[in-house]
């Protein structure tokens, strides 16, 4: 297959270059935030509980999300990790695909997946209802459930 | 006799291998995250659905895989900081090799703390 390089020294469009620069800065800014968010997430969910990963169940999540702090925390983690990861995957797609239609399709797929999971994850956090567990009062005694 | 070229930030030697590792770990974490958001979403379905899927995270095999996941994240995180320092710190490019060793040292120290704890969780009662 012939590889045609059109004017490699031609500048990108101003808009395209602006976007790439913002993406580049975002990868670095979000990276710094993610170090703290992820190390905190792993400490609280995997390392510190007495039985580690074995301590996780519905009640564990209900206990955490009873606090707006952990709701906001997980929300930030969700948005930053997914956008950072998706933008990183975009770099790989751009590096490894040669056919333009394939490159475009994969990039669109990446952002569709990201948008879907951000929406899903945000809804899961904001609409979470511990009352769907009939035993909820064993671990959240002060909770008031309707009906 | 000609000496071997010393390699650059991106080609040959540590600069390249750290970049390859950064890529592989980034992709690995990405795919874990996709699955992880879906498994967490089961808390919206029912306690039973969530608990039965999370039970698989507690098995010996997945428990060992979590060591790989944490190892990948810690490498990507601290090497990511190294990349950021190379870009923004005036002396970053000069010290990129030393910073790579620093990343490995931090990684070994944190893993030395994590692995025994995780093993005691997996194999403990
Ligand atoms: C083996 C390691 C991990 C364990 C045991 C774990 C455990 C959990 C648990 C129990 C929850 C439910 C909410 C909570 O309690 O905070 C959760 C949610 C979440 N985790 Fe993790 N996690 C792990 C690794 C990760 C990693 C590496 C990331 C990021 C790359 C991550 C990102 C998230 C996000 C974004 C949510 C919220 C999902 C939603 O909005 O529905 N987790 N995790
Ligand atoms: C823990 C904190 C993190 C830090 C400090 C960090 C840092 C970085 C930095 C600075 C880059 C850009 C590298 C470059 O331009 O050469 C990058 C790329 C990337 N990151 Fe992260 N990251 C973190 C977490 C994550 C997470 C949670 C994911 C997955 C969901 C991820 C996936 C990726 C991918 C796929 C790339 C592209 C790799 C490449 O272009 O070779 N990172 N990361």
Domain boundaries, chain A: 35-127
User: What are the distances in angstroms from CA B5 to CA B2, B11, B97?
Assistant: 9, 10, 16
Percentage of residues in chain A with pLDDT exceeding 90? 77
> Crossing angle, helix A58-65 and helix A68-96, to 10 degrees?
110
Rounded to whole angstroms, how far apart are CA atoms B54 and B42? 10
Residue nearest (by alpha carbon) to ligand 2 atom 16: B83
Write down the architecture of domain A35-127 according to CATH: Up-down Bundle (1.20)
> Does pLDDT of A61 surpass 60?
yes
Distance from CA of A51 to the nearest CA of B (A): 6
Rounded to whole angstroms, how far apart are CA atoms B83 and A28? 9
| Contact criterion met (CB < 8 Å) for B121 and A42 | no
Which band of pLDDT confidence, cut at 50, 70 and 90, is reported for residue B125? Answer: low
- The confidence score (pLDDT) of residue B14 equals 75
User: What are the distances in angstroms from CA A85 to CA A40, A61, A80, B33?
Assistant: 18, 24, 8, 9
- The confidence score (pLDDT) of residue B96 equals 87
> Does pLDDT of B110 surpass 90?
yes
Instruction: Report CA(A22)–ligand 2 centroid distance (Å).
Output: 15
Distance from CA of A49 to the nearest CA of B (A): 10
For residues B112-124, average pLDDT: 93
Instruction: Report CA(A86)–ligand 2 centroid distance (Å).
Output: 10
| Contact criterion met (CB < 8 Å) for B43 and A124 | yes
Of B53, B45, B48, nearest to A135 (Cα)?
B48
- The confidence score (pLDDT) of residue A139 equals 92
pLDDT digits (tens, 9 = 90+) for A87-112: 999 999 999 999 999 999 999 999 99
Residue in chain B lying closest to A119 (CA): B37
- Say which ligand is closest to the CA of B54: 1
- The confidence score (pLDDT) of residue A106 equals 97
Number of helical (H) and strand (E) elements in chain A, helices listed first: 5, 0
Q: Kindly state whether A52 is in contact with chain B, defined as any CB-CB distance less than 8 angstroms.
A: yes
Which band of pLDDT confidence, cut at 50, 70 and 90, is reported for residue A71? Answer: very high
Residue of B30, B40, B47 lying closest to A124 (CB–CB): B40
CA B57 to chain centre: 18
Q: Kindly state whether A63 is in contact with chain B, defined as any CB-CB distance less than 8 angstroms.
A: no
Q: Is the ipTM of this complex over 0.85?
A: yes
Nearest-5° Cα angle at A124, A118 to A128: 160
Nearest-5° Cα angle at B53, B47 to B57: 125
Size of interface A-B (CB pairs under 8 A): 97
Which band of pLDDT confidence, cut at 50, 70 and 90, is reported for residue B48? Answer: very high
Residue of A32, A85, A123 lying closest to B84 (CB–CB): A32
For residues A40-53, average pLDDT: 93
Chain B residue numbers touching A90 (CB-CB < 8 A): none
B52-85 as b/e, with b when 16 or more CB fall inside 10 Å?
A: eebeebbeeeebeebeebbbbbbbbbbbbbbbbb
Rounded to whole angstroms, how far apart are CA atoms B32 and B41? 14
Which band of pLDDT confidence, cut at 50, 70 and 90, is reported for residue A8? Answer: low
> Does pLDDT of A116 surpass 60?
yes
Element (H, E) at A64: helix A58-65
- The confidence score (pLDDT) of residue A80 equals 98
Sign of the CA dihedral B28, B68, B15, B89?
Answer: positive
Which band of pLDDT confidence, cut at 50, 70 and 90, is reported for residue B6? Answer: low
> Does pLDDT of A127 surpass 90?
yes
């Amino acid at each position: 297959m012939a590889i045609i390089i059109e004017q490699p020294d031609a500048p990108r469009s101003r808009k395209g270059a602006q976007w790439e620069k913002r993406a580049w800065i975002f990868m670095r800014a979000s990276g710094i935030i993610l170090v703290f968010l992820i190390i905190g997430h792993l400490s609280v969910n995997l390392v510190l509980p007495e039985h580690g990963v074995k301590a996780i169940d519905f009640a564990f999540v209900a206990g955490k999300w009873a606090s707006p702090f952990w709701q906001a925390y997980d929300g930030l983690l969700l948005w930053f990790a997914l956008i950072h990861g998706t933008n990183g995957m975009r770099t790989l797609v751009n590096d490894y695909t040669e056919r333009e239609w394939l490159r475009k399709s994969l990039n669109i797929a990446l952002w569709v997946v990201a948008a879907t999971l951000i929406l899903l994850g945000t809804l899961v956090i904001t609409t979470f209802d511990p009352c769907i567990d009939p035993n909820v009062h064993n671990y959240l005694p002060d909770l008031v459930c309707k009906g | 006799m000609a000496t071997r070229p010393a390699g650059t930030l991106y080609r040959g030697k540590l600069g390249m291998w750290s970049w390859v590792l950064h890529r592989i770990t980034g992709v690995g974490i990405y795919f874990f995250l996709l699955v992880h958001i879906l498994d967490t979403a089961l808390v919206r379905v029912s306690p039973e659905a969530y608990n039965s899927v999370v039970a698989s995270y507690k098995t010996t095999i997945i428990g060992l895989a979590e060591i790989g996941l944490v190892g990948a994240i810690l490498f990507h995180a601290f090497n990511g900081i190294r990349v950021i320092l190379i870009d923004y710190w005036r002396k970053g490019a000069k010290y990129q090799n030393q910073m790579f060793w620093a990343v490995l040292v931090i990684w070994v120290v944190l893993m030395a703390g994590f692995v025994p704890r995780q093993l005691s969780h997996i194999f403990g009662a």
